[in-house]
Structure 1
Amino acid sequence: MSIDLAGKTALITGASGELGRVMARTLAQSGADIIIHYFSNLAKAESVRQEVEQLGRRAFVISADISSLDSVLQMRDTLQSEFKLPEIVIANAVSQYSWTTVLEQDPADYLDQFNSTVLQAVHLSKAFVPHMIQQQGGRIVAINTESSMQNFPTQSAYVAGKRGMDGVYRVLAKEIGEHQITVNQVAPGWTISERDRNNNTEHSESYEQSVPLKRRGTDQEIANVVAFLASDLASFITGAYVPVSGGNVMPSI
């Protein structure tokens, strides 16, 4: 048994980022063609395109502001006319900001997180779910976070956005399930990325001691779960929030 995405096309938002590029590579290795979304870093997006094409898959690089419905709809129209609409949508992009306490956090940061998480979910759904309904099938996989269950100090804007996003995707899973479209979330822990490997920052003893598996996860381990949920192997899983955190958070029943 293997993950087979042959004949599928996957859109990955934020595909030029640390985790996004590994997901792009992993889905391409599983046979999918890749739509590489980026916001501003064209050079990194082109680097991901080269990786995907070296794996023998087609790639298309496109920029869009995922917080703007008009921009996302324009991305859809461009894909429809110049490449292909995706059967798989990976919602990975998120805006970055400095974390501080609720009393110190700029209210604009909360709006920014809402726009890049909750509204990204809405915009991607409006743009790409109708095609999935026509095809009577599709996969949506969103990147959440273990922080949504931890609620630690200084995480408030990030947690607020991701928990709001969680609500949208759980409702969406119920609304479109009859069309054999699955909607799931992957919630990474504090993940080792290429940046960590380059900077020798892979380890944090205090964090690792809190994790049952006593280590940080890797970007590849996150991408593996994304690929599984995007595949037919996960055809009867929908509405799930799946921590990939070494047991650091455990949803209850």
Structure 2
Amino acid sequence: MNIDLTGKIVLITGATGQLGRVMARTLSRCGAKVAIHYMSNEAKAQELMDEITKAGGEAMIVQADITREEGVREMRELIRAKLGNPDIVVANAVVQYEWKSVLEQPVEDYVSQFDSCVLQSVFLAKAFIPAMIEKGRGRMIGINTECAMQNFPHQSAYTAGKRGMDGVYRVLAKEVGPHQITVNQVAPGWTISEKDRGEAELHDAAYIAQVPMKRRGEDQDIANAVAFLASDLASFITGAYIPVNGGNVMPAI
């Protein structure tokens, strides 16, 4: 059984990031045409597109501020003109910031997390789901986090943004389900990616001690989960929050 996305068009926001770039490569290998979104790293976006096209895939790059509705609409028009209307939208981009305690965290960081987690999801839905409704199928996949269940110190802004995102996705799943559109979330744990692969701190004893599988996951593990949810194999899965973290957090019934 193979994951076949031949003929499908996918948008990945934050595709130049550590997890996003592996998603782009993976979905392309599955046959999808990939819209590589970036905010500021144009060089990496171009490099990623060149890598995909050299391997025989089809891709484009598109710059947008995903915290602005106008920026998301402009991105939609650029993708539509070059590739067509996306069948799959992966909300992976998020604003990075320094984590501090609630008492020390600047209010601006809560705003940035709301904008890049909640409003990004809303703007993407408004921009891309109408075309999915016309097709009678589609996939919305949000990249959440295990932090949304952990609520550890210094995670407040990130956790608040991702928990708000979770609410949007669960409601959206019920609203667009009749159109055969699935809406799901993948929640990575502390994942090994290109920036830290092979370094000593990969073996963080304190974190690994909590993980039932006694290791950290790889960026490819996250991309594999996204590819599965994007495919027809997951056509009857919607409204799910799926941790990919070796069992470090386990949603309860």
Structure 2 counterpart of 1:148: 148
TM-fit CA distance, 1:201? 3.2
* TM-score for the superposition, normalised by structure 2: 0.98
What runs of 5+ residues in structure 1 fail to find an aligned partner?
none
* Root-mean-square deviation (Å): 0.8
TM-fit CA distance, 1:82? 2.9
Structure 2 counterpart of 1:126: 126
TM-fit CA distance, 1:50? 1.5
8 Å Cα contact 1:28-1:55 kept in structure 2 = no
SS of the residue 2:31 aligns to: coil
Name the aligned partner's letter for residue 235 of structure 1: S
- 1:200 & 1:6 partners in 2: Cα distance? 39
Name the aligned partner's letter for residue 195 of structure 2: R
Matches within 5 A, 1:41-120: 41-120=41-120
TM-fit CA distance, 1:184? 0.2
SS of the residue 1:201 aligns to: helix
What runs of 5+ residues in structure 2 fail to find an aligned partner?
none
Structure 1 counterpart of 2:217: 217
Structure 2 counterpart of 1:14: 14
| 1:157-185 superposed Cα distances (whole Å, 9 cap, x missing partner) | 00000000000010000000000000000
Moved over 6 A (4+): none
| 1:26-76 superposed Cα distances (whole Å, 9 cap, x missing partner) | 101111110000000000111110121122111010000000000000111
8 Å Cα contact 2:13-2:90 kept in structure 1 = yes
The worse-fitting range, judged by mean Cα deviation, of 110-119 and 71-80 is 71-80
Structure 1 counterpart of 2:162: 162
SS of the residue 2:133 aligns to: helix
Name the aligned partner's letter for residue 230 of structure 1: A
Structure 2 counterpart of 1:139: 139
Identical columns (%): 62
SS of the residue 2:197 aligns to: helix
TM-fit CA distance, 1:200? 4.3
Structure 2 counterpart of 1:23: 23
SS of the residue 1:76 aligns to: helix
Name the aligned partner's letter for residue 65 of structure 1: D
TM-fit CA distance, 1:128? 0.2
Structure 2 counterpart of 1:177: 177
Name the count of aligned residue pairs.
253
Structure 2 counterpart of 1:228: 228
- 1:49 & 1:84 partners in 2: Cα distance? 17
Name the aligned partner's letter for residue 153 of structure 1: P
- 1:158 & 1:87 partners in 2: Cα distance? 28
- 2:201 & 2:106 partners in 1: Cα distance? 29
SS of the residue 1:11 aligns to: strand
- 1:105 & 1:252 partners in 2: Cα distance? 30
Alignment of 1:239 onto 2:239: yes
Alignment of 1:206 onto 2:206: yes
- 1:116 & 1:222 partners in 2: Cα distance? 20
SS of the residue 1:37 aligns to: strand
- 1:62 & 1:137 partners in 2: Cα distance? 24
SS of the residue 1:114 aligns to: helix
TM-fit CA distance, 1:199? 4.3
Task: Specify whether residues 215 and 198 from structure 1 end up closer, same or farther in structure 2 by C-alpha distance, changes over 3 A only.
Answer: closer
Name the aligned partner's letter for residue 180 of structure 2: Q
Name the aligned partner's letter for residue 97 of structure 1: Y
- 1:24 & 1:81 partners in 2: Cα distance? 20
